[in-house]
Amino acid sequence: MVAEQRKNQSLLEIIEGLERQLFGRKTERLCAPNENQMRLFDLDTDELSPEENANDDDESNDSGDSSNEQKKKRKKRGRKKGAPGRQGFPAHFPRIDVTATDSGPTTCPCCDENLTHIGFDVSERLETIPAKFVVLRIKRAKRVCKNCPKQGVITQPAPPFSQERSKYGDGLIALVLVDKFADHLPLRRQIKRFKRDGVHIPISNLCRMVQKSADLLKHVVKIMYQELLAGDFIQGDETGIPILHGRKNVPKKGVLWVYTNGDHAVFSVTRDKNGVRPETFLQGRYYSKPVDRFKGVFLPDGASVFNTACAIEDVIRAGCWFHARRNFFEARNDDPRGMVGLIEIRKLAMKERAAWLVSEAERAHIRNTFGREWTEKFKKWVDTELPKTVPKSRIHKALQYIQNQWEYLTAFLDHPNIPIHNNTSERSLRGPVVGRKNWMFAGSETGAEAAAIHYSIVTSCMMVGIDPREYLQDVLPRLPFATPQVLRMLTPKAWAERHRDD
């Protein structure tokens, strides 16, 4: 009877978890959302704080349209010292002057005397102009030698473009790549948008454009791969990516892996989820030309697929405390110990947030004092409570995970250069996961490998805070003639540092 009850409880927990995964909130935050966010529609603006009023756009930005009563309210409301006002528009945006069509009163309403012009009341509104296509006419001078007619016509060299003999410029190629891999817009939807602007680009041309760009950018990703393995810390994660196979386009499972150190994000695609895949990557044998293997701390989640990679000599495995926290979050409604675990891990997370604002030496001191004391106390609580739990219950799984992963979860104490989580790699996979809902699958293995290269470039650009479209438009024409030394200056990290200096 007891065994049946436990089995039923376990099945109910599975059903509840599936329902939450399909229909529930994905966030694991426990704090309530901002109340004023839901009350904005029934609050008078006078009840809001000056900071909230700064983002209120219900009133017109044109002072000429504001009534005296509204002006009095704004003046009465005032702003606290240091509170932000209405955000202005970037200074580099071009300004176009628009003159009001109505001239307004020109004589005084009291004495009928002509009014004297003393200036303008200027306000600003943000407007957009649809994308404008231009055709680049490449003019190359042709010359001949009158004394040497056998030389024939000598033509001036063409300016550099990334794809020779292509109909499309690098600005358009960069737009297609960013829309596809950063904004998750499938190529066929881009074709519809181009048609609305009067431009017809066949799907075969777009696919060829993506593939040729991947062939060029692959050399940059190889440099990123070398620099990634040369460091002392890597995070890793994976997700599924369906891939079409054969003439009948049968979808089969594929795996998209990501490895990052916060500066570079390198993606790879494999047919299966075998543990030898991350091992091959860390050994430096992912590309045909091997590079020096990784020596340092590898921080994945607790999946067993990474066990083989972490068994490599000189590779130290670290654990993710936020994956451990997730198990307590799932158990919080079933057992009060779930909430206790959340509160305790939150203490560590808040201390770590402060520790990353100081130097590495100070962070090491914080971990050697607070960190070691906290982990000893938390481990003692886990060892005490685990025998008291019902096997296979959610709280039992949460405590068992802590006990099984304890060696890896405490690795951060001896390595102040690593975080306590692998959230950076998980965030890097967010783009492909969101995009997967739109493009559904990769059209072939070659297309999946091209997608991994483009995701490596686009994700790394956003990771170092640069516009991937601006980066691609500048880098693509340089790649056909780039030497290995030049390629090292064209990675997103190096490009960002150079342009910040400029």
pLDDT tens digits, one per residue of 409-447: 999 999 999 999 999 999 999 999 998 888 888 888 899
Beta-strand pair 255-260/233-240 = antiparallel
197-214 residue pLDDT tens: 889 999 999 999 999 999
Shared domain for 366 and 379, answered yes or no, is: yes
Say whether 458 sits in a helix, a strand or coil: helix
Mean pLDDT of 116-122: 82
Q: Of 375, 396, 421, which residue constitutes the final position of a domain?
A: 421
d(CA 190, CA 192): 5
| pLDDT confidence tier of residue 31, bands split at 50, 70 and 90 | low
Shared domain for 298 and 439, answered yes or no, is: yes
Q: Is the pLDDT of residue 45 over 50?
A: no
Shared domain for 308 and 444, answered yes or no, is: yes
Shared domain for 325 and 314, answered yes or no, is: no
Shared domain for 400 and 434, answered yes or no, is: no
Q: How many CB atoms lie within 10 A of CB 172?
A: 18
Burial annotation 358-386 (CB, 10 A radius, 16+ → b, else e): eeeeebbebbeebbeebbeebeebbeebb
pLDDT at 84: 56
Q: Is the pLDDT of residue 79 over 90?
A: no
Shared domain for 348 and 286, answered yes or no, is: no
Regarding pTM above 0.75, the answer is: yes
Q: Is the pLDDT of residue 370 over 90?
A: yes
Under 8 Å between Cβ of 38 and 420: no
Mean pLDDT of 275-293: 90
Shared domain for 312 and 218, answered yes or no, is: yes
Percent of the chain past pLDDT 70, that is, above it, reads 86
| pLDDT confidence tier of residue 62, bands split at 50, 70 and 90 | very low
Q: What is the CA radius of gyration of the chain?
A: 30
Residue 494 lies inside a defined structural domain of this protein: yes
Name residues whose C-beta falls within 8 Å of residue 478's C-beta, 6 or more positions apart in sequence.
Answer: 160, 486, 490
Say whether 57 sits in a helix, a strand or coil: coil
d(CA 334, CA 339): 10
* CATH number, residue 435: 3.30.420
d(CA 79, CA 86): 11
Structural domain containing residue 313 = 209-318+425-501
pLDDT at 138: 86
Shared domain for 301 and 355, answered yes or no, is: no
pLDDT at 331: 87
Q: Of 390, 421, 452, which residue constitutes the final position of a domain?
A: 421
Shared domain for 379 and 478, answered yes or no, is: no
Please name which of 197, 262, 198, 254 lies closest in space to residue 423, comparing C-alpha atoms: 262
Q: Of 421, 453, 482, which residue constitutes the final position of a domain?
A: 421
Q: Is the pLDDT of residue 71 over 70?
A: no
